[in-house]
Amino acid sequence: MFKLTNKTAIVTGGGSGIGRAISVLFAQSGANVHILDFDISAATKTVEEIESNGVKASAHFCDVSKQEQVKSLINTIGTIDILVNNAGISHIGRVDNTSEEDFDRVYEVNVKGAYNMLQACIPVMQKQKGASIINMASIAAHVGLTDRFAYSMSKGAIFAMTLSVARDYIDSNIRCNSISPARVHTPFVDGFIAKSYPGQEAEMFKKLSDSQPIKRMAQPEEIAALALYLASDEAGFITGTDYPIDGGFIKLNN
């Protein structure tokens, strides 16, 4: 079950964190994975990890916020069975202390980047028998998070775009779903803690973990497992749905 044999998958932001875990698992499940990342070094390392297990994958430099760059790259890939819109950046701040520059930066990557990928990939998918799109949203699309104004804006947009795409292309057998993780233990989290709380890393890691009812952060591989299911043929009856994977955060954090 949940095999992706001979399917072509594109994963944006596949060089690290959740994207890396998705890329590795998809490749292990038989997919021909194309990793698109602004950090080509990180993407190449993920490919090397995949190929060490005897499976092929490809790394591509791509700034998803640049439409022509995205279109040019997609034209070289050909068939696209799976698109994972995972690339994204975070931002800490409220509306009154979020600068226009920071707001635009988050929008360009998280929102416009997903739009650029969708616009480039969907015409290719329409020529095929079907495809699966997975957008990485967040619990920030569902609940208010302190000091996450711009980030929440971007993930709310991802959630809404998922519904729109699912509705518009259902007759083309293109499924579109989203995943809304809570806090996931990635290199980004470790870097944020080290930069913001030097000398208090262990204490802050525990505090952030305990903020979720399940008392821990998710592992990237847990998010990847859900993505694998949604990308597989076994999820063929699922579209237009968001899947919180949040350790109980949305429903139990009263």
Q: What is the DSSP string of 115-133?
A: HHHHHHHHHHHHTSS-EEE
For the whole model, what pTM was predicted? Answer: 0.95
Same domain, 80 and 23: yes
Same domain, 198 and 88: no
Domain that holds residue 210: 185-217
Same domain, 98 and 193: no
Q: Is the pLDDT of residue 253 over 80?
A: no
Q: How many distinct structural domains can be found in the chain?
A: 2
Same domain, 48 and 144: yes
Same domain, 106 and 192: no
What was the pLDDT predicted at 188? 84
Question: Which residues contact residue 160 at a Cβ distance below 8 angstroms, ignoring those fewer than 6 apart?
Answer: none
Same domain, 118 and 171: yes
197 is catalytic: no
Please give the Cα distance from 13 to 192 (Å, whole number). Answer: 18
Q: Is the pLDDT of residue 48 over 90?
A: yes
Instruction: Specify the range with the lowest mean pLDDT, choosing from 12-26, 153-167, 196-210.
Output: 196-210
Specify the CATH number for the domain of residue 145.
3.40.50.720
Q: Which amino acid is at 108?
A: E
Same domain, 34 and 149: yes
Q: Is the pLDDT of residue 67 over 70?
A: yes
> How confident is the model over 191-249, as pLDDT tens digits?
889 988 999 999 999 999 998 999 999 999 999 999 999 999 999 999 999 999 999 99
Residue 114 within a domain? yes
Residue 1 within a domain? no
Residue 252 within a domain? no
Question: Residues, the chain, total?
Answer: 254
What was the pLDDT predicted at 14? 97
Choice among 151, 197, 229, 243 that is catalytic: 151
Same domain, 89 and 211: no
User: How many CA atoms, within 13 angstroms, populate the side-chain half-sphere of residue 251?
Assistant: 7
Same domain, 66 and 191: no
> How confident is the model over 163-189, as pLDDT tens digits?
999 999 999 999 999 999 999 999 888
Q: Is the pLDDT of residue 254 over 90?
A: no
Average pLDDT over the chain reads 96
